[in-house]
Every structure is written in C-alpha cells, then in structure tokens.
C-alpha cells in the first residue's frame, strides 16, 4: 500500500492548462477519474488540501474518513457543486475521451456522465417513485420544456420510453412494488435506493454514492451491497463514501482514506483497515493506548471507530 501524504509522488507532476484535455493516468492505465491536487477552502477552513485520487474504469472505489474529513467536499468538487481553488479533475466516460471538470457547471457534468446521491436524501417528496426517476431520465433527454408544453410527437415518444426505462430502473433497485407511491411515504432504506435509481436515470458512467447505507438496517445493507455490485457489473464505475466498513470490505476493490482534507492512505480494504495512520485517524491514541493496540482493536472491529461515525 502506498501512503499518500501531501508532497508524495501521487500528486501528478504535470499540471494541464485550464480546460485542456489530457490523457489521464500512465500509459496503459485506464482511469475513469484522475483528480489532481485538489484544494478547497472556505474562509479559514481547508476542506481539501492537495487531494489526488485515481479510479480505474469499472472499479468500485470507497472513500472513507472521520466526520469532517472532506469526503462530501470531494464529491462536490467532482460534480461541479464546489469549485476548488486549485487542482484539476480529468474524467474519462469512455476510453479515449477525457474532459477536465473543474470550472464546469453541475448540469454539464451530469450530461458528461457523472451522477450522485446525497448524504441527506434529496428526493421530490410529493412525487411518486416513478416520477422521481423520470426526473433523472429527463435530465438526459434532449428535448426542452417548450417541446414538453407543446406535446410534440417526438416528446411524447421520449416520455413513453422514459416511463419504460424508469420502471426498469425501479425494478433494478427492488422498488417495482412502490412505483406509484409518493417518495415521502417510503421507508428510509427504500428512499436511498430510489435516489440511486434516479441517479441511474441520467445514464452515468460514474456513480457517486454519499453514505448510501446511512440509517439502513442489516438486511437493507446486504441488498445495497448486491445493488452496488450489479451497477458495477453493468459497466458503471462507483465511487462510494461509506462509514460501514463491513459494506466497504464486501464491495470495494480499493479504499482511499481522507483525514483533515488530506489523503492519508490508499490500498485494499484489508490494508487500510490495519494501517496505523488510519487507525489513529479514527481512534486516536489517547489514554496511553499504543498504535499497535489500536491496530489490533480496529482489525477486529467491523467498522473503524464506529463511535465517531454514527
Ligand atoms: N459550504 C461549506 N462552507 C463552509 N465549510 C464547509 C462547507 N462545506 C464543507 N465545509 C467544511 O469542510 C470540512 C469537510 O466537510 P465535509 O462535509 O466534506 O466532510 P465529510 O468527510 O463529508 O464529513 P461527514 O462524514 O460528517 O459527512 C468540514 O470542516 C466542513 O465544515
Ligand atoms: Mg459527508
């Protein structure tokens, strides 16, 4: 495992000029995301401090770290919600195609093929499950609101196709029995899956999930793990923020660990779970506890430092 402290070689040596496409990764390496040296500040608070992250195409990559580590800020930089003061993000929806994302608006990034769910669920509560997914699909369709208002034939056809696709996606996330229920009436775990269906409606090549298991029960977590694997098996790369290490261990090929806005480790789930810097970040070494003791304790724990995380 490589430890990625600021100043380490993981920060790409060359900085591409603004907006210029650049082949991400080393020759022969197929990356869907190559984020380089992202720094994001809010007044005196530094949310991201030279963060670099590389994700292989098709990979399920987890981002973990204590509360306030900068995980959601990273997603916000990847989706255009926040603009970092420094750094570049190269996104490659297909091999041979690369876009630099910093400076683009969120809807443009959605169109390029990145979708997300939110840490605090953001559905349209009064709309049905079907309508919520249709919203995602319509973000992708090329006909604007004037066509919709005029009820033009091509728009009606697109709408019919959209309904079919929405039903398909609801079936994929296990919500076919909820199609006509308003989203606010769904149990919490189902609302999280509905958000995933809506995100999939935009036809992403990369799906960002911000704590999809938060507030769900063990059975729902198992279903979620299966769903994430199904999504990846369909060729969609998944970037997953998650505190539940059991879920991370079961689905992620590799894990990036953030702490105080910096990448402190990057490796397989098993590697990061026994990394002393990671254990220290979660558990601290207070009360005279040695790092080795903390490592042992955390290695046994299903979730790193749960006391800090729930
Ligand atoms: N819009 C904002 N304005 C000011 N500070 C912000 C803003 N967004 C994030 N921050 C700060 O950036 C830091 C990182 O926050 P972020 O939400 O990215 O952490 P996180 O790792 O997602 O934490 P959690 O596990 O609690 O969700 C925090 O100190 C937070 O207060
Ligand atoms: Mg967060």
Q: Is the pTM of this model over 0.85?
A: no
Is the Cβ–Cβ distance between 262 and 50 less than 8 Å?
A: yes
Instruction: Tell me which of 136, 168, 203 is where a domain ends.
Output: 203
What atom in ligand 1 is closest to the CA of residue 65? 21
Torsion on CA atoms 56, 57, 61, 67, rounded to nearest 10? 90
Closest C-alpha to 117, from 9, 204, 16: 204
Helix, coil or strand: residue 258: strand
pLDDT score recorded for residue 138: 85
Cα of 72 vs centre of ligand 2, distance in Å, is 4
Same domain, 199 and 214: no
Percent of the chain with pLDDT over 70: 76
Parallel, antiparallel or unpaired: strands 45-56 and 114-116: unpaired
What mean pLDDT, rounded, does the chain reach? 83
- Residue 288's pLDDT is 37
Give whichever of 207-216, 274-283, 298-307 has the largest mean pLDDT: 207-216
Atom of ligand 1 nearest to the CA of 40: 12
Whole-number pLDDT of residue 146: 58
Do residues 127 and 260 both lie within one domain?
Answer: no
User: With the CA atoms of 294, 65, 196 and 59 taken in that order, what torsion angle do they form, in degrees rounded to the nearest 10?
Assistant: -80
d(CA 150, ligand 1 centre) in Å: 43
Task: Give residues with Cβ within 8 angstroms of 266, minimum separation 6.
Answer: 1, 2, 3, 4, 10, 254, 255, 256, 257, 272
Last residue of one domain, picked from the residues 203, 235, 255: 203
Closest ligand to residue 209's CA: 2
**Distance (Å, rounded) from C-alpha 248 to C-alpha 255?**
8
* Span from the CA of 68 to the centroid of ligand 2 (angstroms): 7
Are 144 and 99 members of one domain? no
Residue 118 included in any domain: no
> Is the beta carbon of 68 within 6 A of some atom in ligand 1?
yes
- 69 in contact with ligand 1, CB cutoff 6 A: yes
Residues spanned by the domain of 142: 123-203
Is residue 6 assigned to a domain? Answer: yes
Q: How far apart are CA 10 and CA 30, in angstroms?
A: 16
Q: How many domains does the chain have?
A: 2
Give the start-end residues of each E strand in the chain: 31-42, 45-56, 60-64, 86-91, 99-100, 114-116, 206-210, 237-241, 254-259, 262-267
Of 91-95, 118-122, 291-295, where does mean pLDDT reach its minimum?
A: 291-295
Is the per-residue pLDDT at 11 higher than 90? Answer: no
Pocket lining: 72 vs ligand 1, CB cutoff 6 Å: yes
148-206: pLDDT as tens digits:
566 666 666 666 677 889 999 999 999 999 999 999 999 999 999 999 999 999 999 99
CA distance 57 to 232: 10
> Nearest ligand to the C-alpha of residue 258?
1
Measured in angstroms, how far is the CA atom of residue 86 from the centroid of ligand 1? Answer: 17
Q: Is the CB of 46 under 6 A from ligand 1?
A: no
Integer Cα distance of 140 and 74 in angstroms: 24
- The reply to whether 95 and 146 lie within a common domain is no
CATH number at residue 228: 3.40.50.300
Atom number, ligand 1, closest to the C-alpha of residue 211: 27
Residues 100 and 218 in one domain: yes
Cα separation, 263 vs 152, in Å, equals 51
Ligand 1: nearest atom to the Cα of 69: 21
Contacts of 160 by beta carbon, 8 Å cutoff, 6+ apart = none
DSSP-H helix ranges across 121-265: 129-140, 145-150, 153-172, 188-201, 218-233, 245-251
**301 and 160 within one domain:** no
Instruction: Point out the ligand 1 atom lying closest to the alpha carbon of residue 70.
Output: 18
Å from CA of 288 to ligand 2 middle: 30
Query: What's the gap in Å between 204 CA and the centre of ligand 2?
Result: 21
Minimum CA distance residue for ligand 1 atom 19? 68
Predicted pLDDT of residue 150: 65
Same domain, 88 and 177: no
As a whole number, mean pLDDT of residues 277-305 equals 52
Q: Which of 152, 177, 203 lies at the terminal end of a domain, its last residue? A: 203
Asked if the model's pLDDT at residue 114 lies above 60, the reply is yes
């Amino acid at each position: 495992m490589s430890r990625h402290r600021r100043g380490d070689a993981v920060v790409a040596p060359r900085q591409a000029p603004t907006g210029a496409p650049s082949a991400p990764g080393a020759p022969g390496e197929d990356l869907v995301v190559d984020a380089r040296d992202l720094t994001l500040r809010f007044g005196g608070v530094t949310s991201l401090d030279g963060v670099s992250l590389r994700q292989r195409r098709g990979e399920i990559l987890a981002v973990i770290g204590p509360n306030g580590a900068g995980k959601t800020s990273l997603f916000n930089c990847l989706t255009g919600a926040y603009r970092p003061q420094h750094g570049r993000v190269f996104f490659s929806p297909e091999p041979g195609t690369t876009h630099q994302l910093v400076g683009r608006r969120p809807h443009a990034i959605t169109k390029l093929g990145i979708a997300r769910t939110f840490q605090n669920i953001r559905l349209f509560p009064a709309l049905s499950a079907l309508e919520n997914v249709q919203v995602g699909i319509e973000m992708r369709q090329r006909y604007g609101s004037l066509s919709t208002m005029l009820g033009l034939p091509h728009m009606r056809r697109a709408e019919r196709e959209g309904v079919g696709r929405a039903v398909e996606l609801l079936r994929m996330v296990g919500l076919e029995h909820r199609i006509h229920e308003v989203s606010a009436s769904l149990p919490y775990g189902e609302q999280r899956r509905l958000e995933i269906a809506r995100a999939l409606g935009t036809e992403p090549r990369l799906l960002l999930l911000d704590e999809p298991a938060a507030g769900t029960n063990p059975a729902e977590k198992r279903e979620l793990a299966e769903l994430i694997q199904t999504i990846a098996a369909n060729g969609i790369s998944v970037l997953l923020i998650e505190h539940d290490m059991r879920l991370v261990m079961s689905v992620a090929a590799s894990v990036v660990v953030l702490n105080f806005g910096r990448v402190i480790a990057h490796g397989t789930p098993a590697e990061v779970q026994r990394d002393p810097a990671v254990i220290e970040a979660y558990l601290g070494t207070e009360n005279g506890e040695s790092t080795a003791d903390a490592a042992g304790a955390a290695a046994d724990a299903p979730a790193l430092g749960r006391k800090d995380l729930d």
